[in-house]
Amino acid sequence: MSWKYLLFEAKLLINNRKFWFIAVFLLLYFPIYYMIYSDTDPETLQDGKRVEQEMTDSALDQFSDDILETTDGQQVYDNLLDQLSLINMQIYYIGLGNDDQAYIDDGLKLNELRLKNHELNNVGIPEHLIIPKDEVLKEEAFLSYINEKQIPLDSNEYVASKYIVVAVSIMSGLMYYFIVLLTSGDMLVYEKQHKTVVNGFPISFMSKVFSKIALYFVYILIPLILGTLLSIWYAARKEGLGNFSEPVLIYQQGDYTAISTSQYLVYVFGGIVIITLMVLLLSMLLNVLFNNLYATVLIGLGLFLIPELLMAIHWDPLFLRIFKYVDIVNILSGDLALELGDHGIDYWHALTWMMVTIIIFSCILYLINKLNYRRNLITKGVSYNAKA
Amino acid sequence: MLKLNNLSVAYKDHQVLDEMSLTAKEGEIIGVAAPNGTGKTTMFNAMANFIKPDSGYIEFYQKHTYKTEKDEIYIHKHMATFPEQKDLFEELSGVDHLKLYANMWQGHTRHVPEVIQRLHMQDYVKKKVKTYSLGMRQRLCFAMMAAADTSIMLMDEVMNGLDISNVAIISDILIEMKQQNKIIFVASHLLENLDLYADRVIFLKGGKIVYQHHLNEDNQDHIKISMDHMQYKRFKENYPLPENHQYIAGHLLCIPLENMTIDEQTNWIERTLDYKDSEVVIGPLGTMEYYEKYYHDFK
């Protein structure tokens, strides 16, 4: 029966204009964003190096003479000079020199020098000109991966493999959370308008819940995946497919690791699968509790935004952290771990907790239904044992 | 078998059902005749567990009650309730609705074409419900029940908005359903129509069943003649009426012919012939007469 019910619900979805609108949005988001993105001027490897060049130059200019007289100061200054030289060479290698391997070798040397300066507390370098240690570690992981896999450096930021990483980072977080909430906000509530048709169906509440969640899950993910493939095809036609084995940095177990773009996308979509399930269950729970589409969407958004507000007053309630995990790209990049100062927050940590939340939400739904049934019996005093 | 045991439902101070008990057996159509606000819909809702009674319980085949959700699902597998027109899905077609009910209760849709044909819905059933007239919607609601084909059917206001030919078709189908051993509850304002297929008609008042009219048993003939109060008074003075006569709703005198000799019966008929303007009918009391009897002064 649940299968038949699911098919019927699918028919309702197909006949609903709101769902078509959301499906089209999901389908076209990535291709349309590509058009916008291809008009922008993203920072290339060379641009990044030029910024580093300027920063190092400034650091040298502003280096205090007093500190230069100390042993550590002298060492830091010499390091900076070597760094500047390496950066200049890197700019040459990715430009006229056209030598990827030399670029990587110099890059690795550059990182060593930067880390050495960190060991020396970067004495004499103004705070704003210090390359943070995290950035150095990221760069090191990035270059080591390229070196190990012998991947050519591609300066074209518009190829499909590079674009898709940018596109998912824009979609991740509030936007995706809102789309799922909006789509599912009335998945139970709409039945109020058809209650004499659907009330007596011989299926359990939980079967109904899981049928609906399965359907909405498929409904959201299909256009999303199709949209992603469509944008990859479109970007490949325009600028080329790129290289899906190029590295993307992720934060794992307190460290930065480079993984291939394809593996990164698998991580992101794995996360999206879990996030979708969790938000759908949250939406179902809010449907049951508040019985109203607007309440579901607004309270759902509130749960996402409240942690941000609380963090502004330096309060980080652990139970609300789960809503921050919805931004899976932020988790993968390690930005959330840095923001919250908790090095344990990485991809698998977030996924585990979201799965636990899914189980908790399912249990709450089950208990609410059980309690409602029981409460109705108790408050109304139905004497089922009257016969006995 | 479906049994209502001392069912009581109150909305705040208003007692809608008051310790109501009733047993319905297979192959029986029970008509429910009562004006609006007497608890017909509440009774159906309680029977389907859409509302919980304050006391009392429903029993299904002496075995299942609405004690757990599992029991509820078991009962609902055997019970369908009549959908309201306003709750239909406007964007779906009639066929979609029929398939939904057929699938949910029977697990297949093989019998749906037959239902469509039987109710003459071929011309419009594939169109979206939003294009239907009231009568088409009502026919669809009934067809959905036929597609569900459950052993217990609760039909509230089944004949609403239907023309004479459709009332006749549905009445025929109800008789066929009865022959299939189903238990059917039908609430309808078409009282004379109830007499065609119902085995008994229950009359609700004050939250109780005030009378059960067994159509196959209560077939005692009466002379039925319309007369106003003054005429009735005069008639009673001139001819001592039998004790079990009834004067219904201030306009209908019913004289039972049971235990009368042919001569006596003829005498009473001759006496009524003085009332030339009134129609004299001989036959058993129908649902209409009982309805007038119990709800004549109902507000």
In chain A, what are the domain boundaries?
Answer: 2-40+157-380, 45-149
Query: pTM for the complete prediction?
Result: 0.84
Q: Report how far residue B276's alpha carbon sits from residue A182's, in angstroms, rounded to the nearest whole number.
A: 74
Nearest residue in B to A385, CA atom: B57
Under-50 pLDDT residues of chain A: 379-388
| Banded model confidence at residue B14, pLDDT cuts 50, 70, 90 | confident
Residues of B with CB under 8 A from a CB of A: 5-6, 48, 50, 52-57, 59, 65-70, 73-74, 76-77, 79-84, 87-89, 91-92, 96-97, 99-100, 103-105, 107, 144
Q: How far is CA B178 from the centre of its chain?
A: 13
Q: How far apart are CA A284 and CA A296, in angstroms?
A: 9
Question: Measured between alpha carbons, how far is A109 from A333 in angstroms, rounded to an integer?
Answer: 24
CB contact (8 A) between residue A382 and residue B105:
no
How far apart are the C-alpha atoms of A264 and A46, rounded to whole Å?
24
Per DSSP, which regions of chain B are E strands?
2-11, 14-24, 28-33, 55-60, 79-81, 152-156, 183-187, 200-205, 208-214, 221-226, 246-248, 252-256, 280-284
Q: In DSSP terms, which residues pair with A249 in a beta bridge? A: A258
Q: How high is the pLDDT of residue B168?
A: 93
- Residues in a beta bridge with B7: B20
Q: What is the pLDDT of residues B245-294, one digit of tens each?
A: 888 888 889 998 888 888 988 988 888 887 777 788 898 888 888 888 88
Residue B181 has pLDDT above 60, yes or no: yes
For residues B12 and B29, what is the distance between their CA atoms, to the nearest angstrom? 32
Mean pLDDT of B201-210: 90
Neighbours of A317 (CB within 10 A): 10
Which residues does chain A have within 8 Å of residue B80's beta carbon, measured at their own beta carbons?
200
Cβ separation A202–B73 shorter than 8 A: yes
Examine the pLDDT at B46 and tell me if it is beyond 70. yes
Tell me the pLDDT tens digit for each residue of A299-356.
999 999 988 888 888 787 888 889 999 999 999 999 899 888 888 899 999 999 999 9
What ipTM was predicted for this assembly? 0.85
Q: Give the pLDDT of residue B298.
A: 59
- Going by CATH, does the domain composed of B2-214 fall within 3.40.50.300? yes
